[in-house]
Copies of this chain bind each other. A is one copy, B any other.
Amino acid sequence: MCSPQAMATVQRAITRRRFLGAAGSTGALAVLGGVGRPQSAALQGAATPGATPVIAPLGTPIATGCFGSVLDLTHTITPDFPVFPGSEQFQANVLVRVEQDGFYKSQLVLDEHTGTHMDAPAHFDANGPKADTLPVANFVAPLAVIDVAARAAANDDYQVTVDDILAWEAQNSALPEGAFVAMHSGWEARLATPGAFLNADAGGTLHFPGFAPDAAAFLVEERSIVGIGVDTISLDFGASTDFATHLTVLPAGKYGLENLANLSVAPPVGATLVVGGPKHLNASGGPSRVLALF
């Protein structure tokens, strides 16, 4: 994002959000464009539910090239982090401790689809690439954030529409080639309330937002994308019974990212996503460290 024009676009978008009072559900202030040593520890905190999400200035101009800030779009995985019904919770078993053994480490036991994680095409397509064989060039992509938080606040079953995508384009730009398109629904705030993130009704049906299958088809067929992402636990909305959005996106060779964090403070346009995706053999997906640089 070198050009003054692109930087101005991001600054405008951020300023607009800030004035609209939507600069983050936790009220975080977006610190943009600072280049130099991080100014304080408070600027560098991790993205955890309830904590202040932060945009950290990068270390040095030499480090950053034309990027001045990094934003962590990753939740901390804990034994309590919501998983899809029927899945096992994350477990960490301490093996050795510094005090007794001179060093500290744990064994991890987890479902691949835990925390902020990738769905590789192979998750729904027996012939699709696994996470470990996806082209790494697709892990660095222009990030487009579509904000549907107001609509999702009024409708737990909200699905991102083709019109939402067209409205984003009208407000920002045509979706760039090889874009990664993320839904910001505001669902992250619900992690603070047990049960509210999955939001199951009395019958066990889940209620949270996702991408509508026809919007997913539009992105796959009419635009050039590497993948889509959500701040909920599934690309499909919670009440889906056919996983039509997964079945549209993944067999097309695109990847998904679920449980993204801090999208409320990500610029809608102009950031570059860098996906630290999993790389174990035959990965259907897995926990991923996801960063936005801008």
Contacts of A37 in B (CB 8 A): 177-178
Q: What is the distance, in angstroms, from A76's C-beta to the closest C-beta of chain B?
A: 5
Are B107 and A125 neighbours in the complex by a CB distance under 8 Å?
no
Contacts of A135 in B (CB 8 A): 38, 41, 44, 56
Are B103 and A112 neighbours in the complex by a CB distance under 8 Å?
no
Are B126 and A177 neighbours in the complex by a CB distance under 8 Å?
no
Contacts of A102 in B (CB 8 A): 124, 243
Are A176 and B137 neighbours in the complex by a CB distance under 8 Å?
no
At the interface, yes or no: A2 with Cβ under 8 Å from chain B? yes
Contacts of A124 in B (CB 8 A): 98, 102-104
At the interface, yes or no: A58 with Cβ under 8 Å from chain B? yes
Contacts of A281 in B (CB 8 A): 76-79, 92
At the interface, yes or no: A183 with Cβ under 8 Å from chain B? no
Contacts of A90 in B (CB 8 A): 280
Are B2 and A59 neighbours in the complex by a CB distance under 8 Å?
no
At the interface, yes or no: A285 with Cβ under 8 Å from chain B? yes
Are A1 and B65 neighbours in the complex by a CB distance under 8 Å?
yes
Interface bracket on A: 35 or more
Q: Which residue of B lies closest to A69 (CB)?
A: B137
Q: Pick from A138-146, A148-156, A214-222 the stretch touching chain B.
A: A138-146
At the interface, yes or no: A67 with Cβ under 8 Å from chain B? yes
Are B63 and A65 neighbours in the complex by a CB distance under 8 Å?
no
- Per a CB cutoff under 8 Å, which of B46, B276, B279, B291 touches A75? B279
CA distance A239 to B113 in the complex (A): 39
At the interface, yes or no: A95 with Cβ under 8 Å from chain B? yes
Q: Which residue of B lies closest to A294 (CB)?
A: B65
Write 27 A-B pairs (CB below 8 A) sorted by A numbering: A2-B66, A38-B135, A44-B135, A57-B137, A60-B178, A62-B142, A63-B140, A63-B141, A63-B178, A63-B179, A65-B272, A65-B293, A67-B140, A75-B279, A76-B279, A76-B281, A92-B280, A99-B126, A103-B243, A107-B109, A107-B111, A108-B112, A109-B109, A136-B291, A139-B291, A274-B276, A274-B291
